[in-house]
């Protein structure tokens, strides 16, 4: 799953300090406001270096000096989010909102934190508030669209992605996300131009993967394999591209290349049950039944309630004449709920 969120980088207003204070003739000491501004500025520098613990310590110091310093509260929330400490991030965003509810960035940041906790309704509410304050923010539209997609509201998602594209015509992620909605809807002829535009704007592994999915949906296997190969050129460890290209090769009867892809996938993720099943099926097509049985057995050990694995292994046992084990596996497949196959 492949969908991308844009998290605002540190503080748009990072250099803004508190209200100016009259400086003494000789700078012997600093006022609380000046110290808070200095700590906040150093925190931003630490955050730019991804030294988030040091950044948070500086924001703490700034807030010790001036407890209602909105910028330090907001910056600390961003730092907590970058550390994936979303509960603390949300607490600071709450505090920032209480200090000044008029800034869209804090709602955007809190929405992202909620999304990472799978609290989709609150995420949508905060993206909507960010958009009320800043109606033409394509990034908030893109992210809210992703939330709608996760909730199954494809119409809402499509509307937000299209509006993001209208506002920012060079927004690769929005084209890719809209193209994915078209793929889910089976509208492959609409998906392909969106993914092509996403590739033109940003030639990433994911965008090549997505267009490959659209071509696969149209049963244009050669084109899908070409796109999956390009995705793997960008990222040789992209599991979904290995899986889909393996399926494409299998559909073409190119079992050698299909085995190569599934084996490469399983080296990256040895516990991938669908890949074990798929490789086992390729071995069975090549009449390498012992190897197929081994893969189906591995899938069963990982997921003992997976009826399809018992069914596939039962067929393989039948092919080698081990009818007792075949019956045992097929009985288990039926017990788990797999419909009887007449073959």
308 domain residue, yes or no? yes
Q: Is the pLDDT of residue 13 over 80?
A: no
The CATH number that applies at residue 309 is: 1.25.40.10
130 domain residue, yes or no? no
DSSP track, 238-284: -HHHHHHHHHHHHHTT-HHHHHHHHHHHHHH-TT-HHHHHHHHHHHH
210-227 pLDDT, tens digit each: 999 999 999 999 999 999
69 domain residue, yes or no? no
- Any idea which of 67-76, 129-138, 200-209, 329-338 has the lowest mean pLDDT? 329-338
Q: Is the pLDDT of residue 10 over 60?
A: no
The encoded tokens of residue 258 equal 């299909």
Q: Quote the number of domains for the chain.
A: 1
313 domain residue, yes or no? yes
Average pLDDT value over all residues in the chain: 91
Answer yes or no: are the C-beta atoms of 213 and 244 closer than 8 Å.
yes
SS3 22: coil
Q: Is the pLDDT of residue 313 over 90?
A: yes
333 domain residue, yes or no? yes
Q: Does the pTM exceed 0.85? A: no
Answer yes or no: are the C-beta atoms of 145 and 161 closer than 8 Å.
yes
The encoded tokens of residue 162 equal 């299209």
CA-based radius of gyration for the chain: 27
Helices marked H in the chain: 32-48, 52-65, 70-82, 86-99, 104-116, 120-133, 138-150, 154-167, 172-184, 188-201, 205-217, 221-234, 239-251, 255-268, 273-285, 289-302, 307-319, 323-336
* CA dihedral angle for residue 142, residue 144, residue 149, residue 151, rounded to 10 degrees: 170
334 domain residue, yes or no? yes
112 domain residue, yes or no? no
340 domain residue, yes or no? yes
87-96 pLDDT, tens digit each: 999 999 999 9
46-60 pLDDT, tens digit each: 999 999 999 999 999
High-pLDDT (> 90) share of the chain, %: 89
Which are the contacts of 64, defined by CB distance < 8 A and separation ≥ 6?
none
249-296 pLDDT, tens digit each: 999 999 999 999 999 999 999 999 999 999 999 999 999 999 999 999
Residue 291 belongs to what domain range? Answer: 270-343
């Amino acid at each position: 799953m492949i969908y991308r969120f844009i998290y605002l980088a540190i503080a748009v207003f990072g250099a803004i300090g508190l209200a100016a204070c009259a400086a003494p003739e000789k700078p012997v000491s600093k006022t609380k406001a000046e110290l808070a501004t200095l700590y906040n500025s150093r925190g931003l520098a630490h955050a730019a270096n991804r030294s988030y613990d040091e950044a948070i310590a500086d924001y703490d110091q700034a807030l010790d000096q001036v407890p209602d310093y909105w910028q330090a509260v907001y910056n600390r929330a961003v730092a907590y989010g970058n550390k994936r400490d979303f509960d603390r991030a949300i607490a600071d965003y709450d505090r920032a909102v209480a200090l000044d509810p008029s800034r869209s960035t804090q709602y955007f940041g809190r929405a992202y934190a909620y999304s990472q906790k799978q609290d989709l309704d609150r995420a949508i509410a905060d993206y909507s508030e960010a958009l009320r304050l800043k109606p033409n923010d394509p990034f908030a539209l893109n992210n809210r669209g992703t939330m709608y997609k996760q909730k199954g509201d494809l119409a809402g998602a499509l509307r937000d992605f299209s509006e993001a594209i209208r506002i920012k015509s060079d927004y690769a992620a929005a084209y890719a996300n809209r193209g994915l909605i078209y793929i889910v809807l089976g509208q492959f002829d609409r998906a392909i131009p969106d993914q092509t535009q996403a590739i033109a704007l940003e030639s990433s592994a994911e965008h090549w993967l997505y267009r490959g999915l659209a071509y696969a949906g149209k049963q244009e296997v050669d084109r899908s394999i070409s796109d999956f190969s390009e995705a793997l050129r960008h990222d040789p460890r992209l599991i979904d591209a290995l899986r889909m290209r393996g399926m494409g090769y299998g559909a073409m009867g190119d079992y050698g290349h299909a085995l190569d892809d599934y084996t490469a996938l399983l080296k990256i993720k040895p516990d991938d049950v669908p890949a074990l099943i798929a490789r086992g099926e390729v071995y069975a097509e090549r009449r390498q039944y012992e190897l197929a049985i081994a893969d189906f057995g591995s899938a069963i050990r990982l997921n003992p309630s997976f009826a399809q694995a018992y069914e596939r292994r039962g067929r393989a046992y039948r092919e080698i004449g081990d009818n007792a084990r075949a019956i045992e596996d097929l009985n288990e497949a039926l017990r788990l709920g797999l419909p009887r196959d007449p073959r």
